[in-house]
Structure formats: structure tokens, C-alpha cells
């Protein structure tokens, strides 16, 4: 009888059980043909005899951890690993081809689906199995913890994953319905707690969903009424007086609110307040990185989270809105990270470049960031390109672009709640090495099996303004079979293409044209046109648009004759020789749609009020915005803008004008701007 558990283990699973060095050495010995093997059938065990004199024995009804190696070494040795790999190779050569399944043959059990590489559900594991694996008392303690409440993101697939959001722990099920093959990024002594929690959470996920969010909350969290009242007053003062005229105590009072919110576990509102305080400090210091437009977004999101907390909505789990115990600064004692791409965020006078990395052990996504202020009154042609900015050195001779495409080894560091990685200052604590882009080994939920699973995940999540503020919250990598339909959309000024995954599902790839990123844009366009059938992975920020998915890439992996390379859409310099001439002849132009232009003008007008206050507000600007919103058909929005315009007009006629109506409308419009960013 075939050992289905050994057949289900991938090289990445074996690396999690042992280490990657052991697996690579075993793979090298097999690939080099240095040894041969023979399997012997035995009623009680599977025996692998090697030509170098080693014999490995796998007792029936025992896991790989119980295998015995004649070398005398203890644990899962490289001989045991190479025996598993050899067994998989032997079975794959002797097993007959499996016929394709008709639509009426898909009603298999979970275990049958898993055997053919399909989706299976850990929720089918019984409590008796849990007790047999972990003991009755341990399962009882886990049940008590479960009833206290959990917030967990689940993903069904060949390797189901449960990522707990209220505490930092991810559980992975490697072999269908076999609790002996479970991995978790916490101490093994805690597995009797987290594995049952994961199994029970999967039982609450609807059977027709591949992925989703499960919240078990027995009691409502208290509403921090006093804190939210203090925040409301401070935001009103900001709208009334503007950042340039607020009282001397405003920043100190806001800082106290931030500290109190962190004390109460309101991590994400506190992070937004910290960003508002940083903007205020940069303004006072005349720092060129000050971004008045960002103030509008921060105020709008603070208002959205404030209202969601005040109303104690059950539609969105409160820990997502507020934050949890796992959302705190984390000291990193060391580890290996692999670069997965480079992102760019552009505001009016500021560019932020992020090199994204995944921690090989925990699967956590972090970003190394640098912000660059544009010179005042500089023309677009004189601004540094994104490719130039990506060459900024951040650690031991390595640039942002290097980190995005390489492996990073660190001995220490710090990860902020938002997922920003702060590198150690000492050069000896950092090393950067090349990678081979074997992204099949990347961990879930960042790595997804297909667009169907990704669509299921996104459909279960609330809007981004009510979710954790992590830099890579919607960043994913997906295995790709083909990219076609590549073209430039002149109306939207962006590259569009259709990406097809290995299951045949599709998503729309979108990459905007920006003059400073022209080289990367053209490199991406031509690479997809010439090598669309050689694209193996696409990594990018994903969102749902209607019934389809849209992915904005930060990296693309192309496989040419077994040699994989990474293309950075924002910053690649290299262009294939075959298309270099075509690149030189391109003459793109940047335009905004009428609606985008209106949103930009509205945000700029609000930013001016948040900077200078309502007493210096330009009524003519708001009159024009009223007419534009009416012309575009934004009737309800036009009412708010008109009310603000009328309130500003009454300023010069009413000696008792207090501006409270104007302040309310400013807050509502800031909220609109943030919601419109979805």
C-alpha cells in the first residue's frame, strides 16, 4: 500500500521538518546519480536500501519523524530525506496516468480530493483525533481558549493554512487528515493549543469557500468613548485652525491620545495618529517630505475607524479595526528573507520606494522603505527616475533594488506593526546574497495556489480602511501559466494584460505609466509581449474589481530555458536586445480621467484647509468644486461641498460665525476621499 503521507510531502515541507540545507544536499545526491536505491516491501515497514550501504526504515502507521537510518545519526537525516524523494520518484514512474475527471465525477471525499492534489479541509479532523495526538487535557484547554474568542484567516488547498490575527501564529497542514504532519511558527510545546484552534476554526468556514475570515467573539469589546471623544475634539481643532495655526498644546494632547490608545490595544488608530503627528513635526521642521495630501487620507481613515468602533459593528471584526496583541513592534533575533519585489508610492512631492521581503521561516512579509522628497519647483523632466532612486544604498552596499531581488540575512532587526523592517545599523549584522527565484517554496497566505483562492480571500475581507495597516496587506504572489492580451490603454494611460494561473482562472494585470518609471514600464510591456508564455510568477497588490481581480505588479518572474530572472515593473533598467529599439521609439504621455482629476482637486483643496484652517479657506475654489461635482453627477457629494462653500461665504457676513458646520463638512469630505481610494 503506498505511503500517502510520504507522497504528499514537498521539498518545502521537508525543509520545514528538517532544514533547507539537508534537503538541498539530498536533492544534489539524487540529481548527480551518485547513488542508486531499491525499495523492499515488508508487512510492517517500508525499507529503502542504498548503494552506499545506508538503509532507511519507515515503520507503517508511523510518521517520518519515526524513521530509522542505519547511519546512526539521530532525527530526520539527509538519508531519510533522500529516501522520501526517491520513493516519490519511484511511485511517479510506476503509477499509471490518471484519467481526467468529468464534471459528474467531482463528488469525492476530502481525502480523495487531497490524493489527487486537490483541496481538503482540516475541519474534517475529529476531536477524537485531536485527543489522540495531544491528550484530552490539552484539547480541553484549547477549547476554553477558543470559546474566549479568536480571529483567524483561513485558506483551504493542498496545504491548508490558518493564520491567527489576534496572536502571531500560523498553522500549516502538510498532509491530508494527518496531525503528525503539522507545522506552526511557534514553540512546539504550544502546538496542542494552536492546532485544535485551527481545526475548529475551519469548521466555521462555509464549505463552499476556499478562503475566508472567521471571528469567534463571545463578548463585545468595550467602546473607548472618552478616548474617541478626545480624538474627535482634536480633529475638529485641526480642521478649524489648520496645522499652521493650531494651539501649542495640540500636538502634546494628540500624543497623549496616541499613548492611551496603544495602552488600550487600539493599535491601528494609534498608528494613524502617529503618522499625523509625524506630518505635523515635518511641517514645523520645514522638512521637504511633508505631504499635505496625506493628512486628508489619515483624517478620513481615522474618522472611518472611529465610527466603526462607536457603533460596535459586528459586520467587521473589531480586532481588525482596532488591532490586536500581535500588532506590536517585534524584535527580530535573526533570519533569512527573500526579496519578492519593489513597490513605489507617489504623492505630490514625495516618492516612497519599498523593497518587499518574505521571512523564510515565519512567512511574514516586511518592507524596507525609503522616502525621497522632490525639489521644490522642479520640472518633471529634472526629477530622478525610480530606477535611480532604487539604487539608494540601505545596508552593506545593497540598494533597495538589490534587496527586492536578493536574499537578505540579518542577525537582528525590528519589525513595526505596519510591517516595516528596520535594519540593524552594524554592517556585520547584514548580508545580501543572490536568489534563484524558486518561488514554489514561498509560504502562504502570501503565496496563493490560484486566483480562485485569492478571490475567496478578498471577498471575505472588509475595505482596507477598516483592516490592518500593514504595508503588504494585499500583496500576493501567484503561479502563472501564461500572460496574453498585452496592450497599452491610452484612455487609462496604463499597461493591461490577462494573467492566467495554472488552474485556468484569470486576473487583469494593470501597471500605470509614470514618466519617472518609463524604463521599467517599457521593459515590462515588451517582456510580456515577447515572453508572455515564459512568465512563471507575478507578485503584486491585488484587489477585487466587480467580479474580477486586478493585480498591480511589483515583480514578474520569467523563465527562459531554465534560467529565471526577476523584472521590476517600477525600476528595471535592462531591456531585452530584441526590443531595445522599440523602447526607444515609445512616446507615452500621462493623463488623468475627469473623475480622477476632480478627486485630486478635492483632496488638494481639503489639504489646504487642514494646513491653513477655515478662516483662510478660498470660497471660490469650493464654488468651482460644487459646479464640477454637479456636472459629474455626484449629487450627494455636491451637497456637502456646497454646504461647505456656503459656510465659508457666511464667514464674512456673520460676526458670530463659529465654523462648526464647515468643520463637520470637512471631516465628511475627508472620509469621502479615503473611501474613494478603494
Q: DSSP state, 82?
A: H
Looking at residue 449, what is its pLDDT? 81
- Dihedral sign for Cα 47, 48, 51, 53, please: negative
- In this predicted model, what pLDDT tens digit does every residue of 41-84 receive, in sequence order? 788 999 999 999 999 999 998 999 999 999 989 899 999 999 99
Three-class DSSP category at 80: helix
Q: In what order do the strands lie in the sheet with 421-422?
A: 330-332, 413-415, 421-422
Question: CA-CA distances (angstroms) from residue 429 to 366, 395, 411, 425, 432?
Answer: 18, 10, 5, 8, 10
Task: Please list, residue by residue across 351-373, b when 16 or more beta carbons sit within 10 angstroms of its beta carbon and e when fewer do.
Answer: bbbbbbbbbbebbbbbbbbbebe
Give the residue from 354, 543, 548 showing the smallest Cα distance to 465.
543
Question: CA-CA distances (angstroms) from residue 236 to 233, 530, 609, 664?
Answer: 5, 55, 12, 8
Asked whether the beta carbons of 208 and 386 are under 8 A apart, the reply is no
- In this predicted model, what pLDDT tens digit does every residue of 472-524 receive, in sequence order? 989 999 999 999 999 998 878 899 999 999 889 999 999 999 889 999 999 99
Looking at residue 162, what is its pLDDT? 94
Could you please state the CATH topology (level 3) that the domain comprising 329-589 is classified under.
OB fold (Dihydrolipoamide Acetyltransferase, E2P) (2.40.50)
Ramachandran sector of residue 572 (left: φ over 0; alpha: ψ -120 to 50; beta: rest): beta
Residue 473 main-chain phi, psi, to 5 deg: -60, -40
Question: CA-CA distances (angstroms) from residue 633 to 377, 596, 605, 619, 643?
Answer: 35, 14, 20, 21, 17
Asked whether the beta carbons of 368 and 355 are under 8 A apart, the reply is yes
Cell numbers standing for residue 557: 518572474
Residue 564 main-chain phi, psi, to 5 deg: -95, 140
Question: CA-CA distances (angstroms) from residue 274 to 302, 499, 650?
Answer: 11, 39, 35
Give the residue from 43, 74, 75, 38 showing the smallest Cα distance to 53.
38
Q: Report d(CA 677, CA 198) in Å as an integer.
A: 34
Asked whether the beta carbons of 398 and 390 are under 8 A apart, the reply is no
Give average pLDDT by consecutive 10-residue segment, the chain, 678 residues.
88 86 91 90 91 95 94 93 95 61 35 52 96 96 92 90 86 93 88 96 92 82 94 97 95 97 93 96 91 95 96 84 81 88 89 95 90 79 89 90 95 89 85 92 86 88 91 93 92 91 93 92 93 94 91 96 93 58 47 84 96 91 95 93 93 84 96 92
Q: Report d(CA 301, CA 268) in Å as an integer.
A: 10
Q: DSSP state, 420?
A: B
Q: DSSP state, 157?
A: B
Looking at residue 315, what is its pLDDT? 80
- Dihedral sign for Cα 626, 630, 634, 635, please: positive
Q: Is 562 exposed, middle or buried (0-12, 13-18, 19+ CB in 10 A)?
A: exposed
Which segments within 268-403 are labelled E, that is strand? Answer: 330-332, 335-346, 350-359, 365-373, 393-395, 398-399
Amino acid at each position: 500500500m503506498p505511503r500517502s503521507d510520504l507522497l504528499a510531502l514537498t521539498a518545502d515541507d521537508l525543509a520545514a521538518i528538517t532544514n533547507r540545507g539537508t534537503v538541498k544536499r539530498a536533492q544534489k545526491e539524487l540529481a548527480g546519480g551518485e547513488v542508486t536505491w531499491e525499495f523492499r516491501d515488508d508487512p510492517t515497514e517500508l525499507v529503502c536500501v542504498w548503494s552506499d550501504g545506508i538503509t532507511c526504515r519507515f515503520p507503517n502507521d508511523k510518521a517520518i519523524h519515526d524513521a530509522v537510518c542505519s547511519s546512526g545519526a539521530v532525527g530526520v537525516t539527509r538519508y531519510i530525506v533522500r529516501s522520501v524523494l526517491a520513493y516519490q520518484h519511484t511511485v511517479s514512474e510506476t503509477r499509471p496516468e490518471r484519467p481526467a475527471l468529468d464534471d459528474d465525477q467531482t463528488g469525492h471525499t476530502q481525502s480523495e480530493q487531497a490524493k489527487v492534489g486537490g483541496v481538503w479541509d482540516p475541519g474534517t479532523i475529529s476531536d477524537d483525533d485531536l485527543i489522540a495526538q495531544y491528550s484530552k487535557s490539552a484539547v480541553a484547554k484549547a477549547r476554553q481558549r477558543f470559546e474566549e474568542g479568536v480571529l483567524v484567516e483561513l485558506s483551504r488547498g493542498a496545504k491548508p493554512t490558518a493564520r491567527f490575527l489576534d496572536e502571531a501564529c500560523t498553522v500549516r497542514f502538510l498532509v491530508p487528515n494527518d496531525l503528525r504532519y503539522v507545522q506552526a511558527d511557534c514553540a512546539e510545546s504550544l502546538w496542542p493549543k494552536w492546532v485544535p484552534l485551527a481545526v475548529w476554526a475551519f469548521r466555521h468556514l462555509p464549505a463552499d469557500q476556499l478562503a475566508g475570515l472567521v471571528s469567534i467573539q463571545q463578548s463585545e469589546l468595550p467602546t473607548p468613548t472618552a478616548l474617541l471623544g478626545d480624538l474627535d475634539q482634536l480633529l475638529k481643532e485641526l480642521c478649524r485652525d489648520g496645522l499652521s495655526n493650531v494651539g501649542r498644546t495640540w500636538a502634546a494632547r494628540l500624543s497623549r491620545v496616541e499613548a492611551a490608545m496603544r495602552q488600550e490595544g487600539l493599535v491601528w488608530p494609534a498608528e494613524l495618529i502617529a503618522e499625523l503627528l509625524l506630518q505635523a513635526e515635518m511641517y514645523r521642521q520645514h522638512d521637504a517630505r511633508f505631504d499635505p495630501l496625506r493628512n486628508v487620507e489619515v483624517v478620513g481613515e481615522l474618522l472611518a475607524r472611529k465610527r466603526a468602533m462607536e457603533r460596535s459593528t459586528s459586520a467587521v471584526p473589531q480586532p481588525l479595526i482596532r488591532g490586536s496583541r500581535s500588532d506590536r513592534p517585534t524584535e527580530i533575533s535573526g533570519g533569512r528573507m527573500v526579496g519578492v519585489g519593489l513597490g513605489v508610492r507617489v504623492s505630490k512631492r514625495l516618492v516612497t520606494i519599498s523593497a518587499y521581503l518574505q521571512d523564510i521561516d515565519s512567512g511574514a512579509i516586511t518592507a524596507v522603505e525609503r522616502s525621497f522628497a522632490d525639489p521644490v519647483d522642479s520640472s518633471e523632466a529634472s526629477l530622478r527616475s525610480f530606477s535611480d532612486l532604487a539604487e539608494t544604498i540601505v545596508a552593506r552596499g545593497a540598494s533597495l533594488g538589490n534587496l527586492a531581488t536578493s536574499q537578505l540575512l540579518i542577525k537582528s532587526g525590528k519589525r513595526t506593526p505596519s510591517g516595516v523592517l528596520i535594519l540593524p545599523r552594524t554592517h556585520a549584522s547584514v548580508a545580501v546574497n543572490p536568489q534563484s527565484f524558486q518561488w514554489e517554496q514561498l509560504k502562504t497566505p502570501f503565496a496563493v495556489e490560484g486566483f480562485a483562492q485569492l478571490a475567496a480571500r478578498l471577498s471575505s475581507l472588509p475595505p482596507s480602511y477598516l483592516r490592518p495597516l500593514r504595508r503588504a496587506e494585499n500583496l500576493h504572489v501567484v503561479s502563472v501559466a501564461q500572460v496574453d492580451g498585452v496592450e497599452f490603454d491610452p484612455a487609462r494611460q496604463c499597461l493591461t494584460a490577462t494573467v492566467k494561473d495554472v488552474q485556468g482562472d484569470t486576473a487583469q494585470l494593470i501597471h500605470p505609466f509614470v514618466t519617472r518609471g518609463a524604463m521599467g514600464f517599457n521593459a515590462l510591456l515588451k517582456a510580456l509581449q515577447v515572453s508572455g508564455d515564459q512568465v512563471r510568477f507575478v507578485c503584486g497588490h491585488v484587489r477585487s474589481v466587480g467580479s474580477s481581480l486586478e493585480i498591480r505588479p511589483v515583480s514578474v518572474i520569467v523563465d527562459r530555458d531554465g534560467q529565471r530572472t526577476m523584472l521590476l515593473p517600477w525600476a528595471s533598467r535592462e531591456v531585452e536586445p530584441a526590443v531595445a529599439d522599440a523602447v526607444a521609439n515609445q512616446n507615452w504621455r500621462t493623463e488623468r480621467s475627469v473623475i480622477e482629476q476632480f478627486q485630486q482637486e478635492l483632496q488638494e483643496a481639503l489639504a489646504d484647509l487642514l494646513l491653513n484652517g477655515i478662516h483662510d479657506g478660498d470660497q471660490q475654489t469650493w464654488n468651482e468644486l460644487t459646479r464640477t461635482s454637479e456636472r459629474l453627477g455626484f449629487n450627494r457629494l455636491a451637497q456637502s461641498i456646497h454646504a461647505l462653500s456656503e459656510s465659508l461665504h457666511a464667514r464674512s457676513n456673520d460676526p458670530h460665525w463659529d465654523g462648526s458646520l464647515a468643520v463637520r463638512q470637512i471631516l465628511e469630505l475627508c472620509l469621502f476621499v479615503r473611501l474613494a481610494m478603494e
